[in-house]
Amino acid sequence: MIEERAVILSLERETNDIASNDSTAILEIERKSACGLCGQTRGCGNSIWGKLFAHQSTAFKAQNRINAKVGDSVIVGINEKALLKSALLLYILPLVTMLIGAILASQIHDTNGSAMIGAAAGLVLGLLWVKGHTQSSSYFRLQQPIILRLAFQDTVVKFC
């Protein structure tokens, strides 16, 4: 399980599932900075990227099985196999269909232009297949992040 610390921004509860304790939480990853100079004029090269993209955080949804509250710092996890499967599906499959399209088109017409058109067609078909496959609800249910525990449970208290 790949884990990351996040903060709960808000909670959503399904209207038809009032009896259940499960809810969906809107989360934001807690940003970590190595030197504290991100976004300033001096420091490493990351400050340039910080100015260009403004280090915007994106909110995401996760299943809240531990009944955490708004403002809680939690540990969110996603299955490694789900992440690997998604990466393979989103990157490898379109490249393979592009390669197959280029080979088939070059076998039909022995020109570079037909191979390029076949590659483009294969890429588009692969991307359309990925889009259709990922729109199924079962795919996203398996890929959803889950709130595993409250973050203060991870801290180790040392007494001198």
Work out whether strand 73-78 and strand 146-150 pair parallel, antiparallel, or are unpaired: antiparallel
Provide the whole-model pTM: 0.61
Q: Which residue has the tokens 């390669």?
A: 99
Query: How do residues 59-75 score in pLDDT, each as one tens digit?
Result: 888 888 888 888 888 99
Between 5 and 18, where is the model more confident? 5
Rounded Cα distance, 58 and 96, in Å: 31
Share of the chain above pLDDT 90, in %: 22
Region at 41 (left for phi over 0; alpha for psi -120 to 50; beta for the rest): alpha
Give pLDDT tens digits for 81-122: 888 888 888 899 999 999 999 999 999 988 889 999 999 999
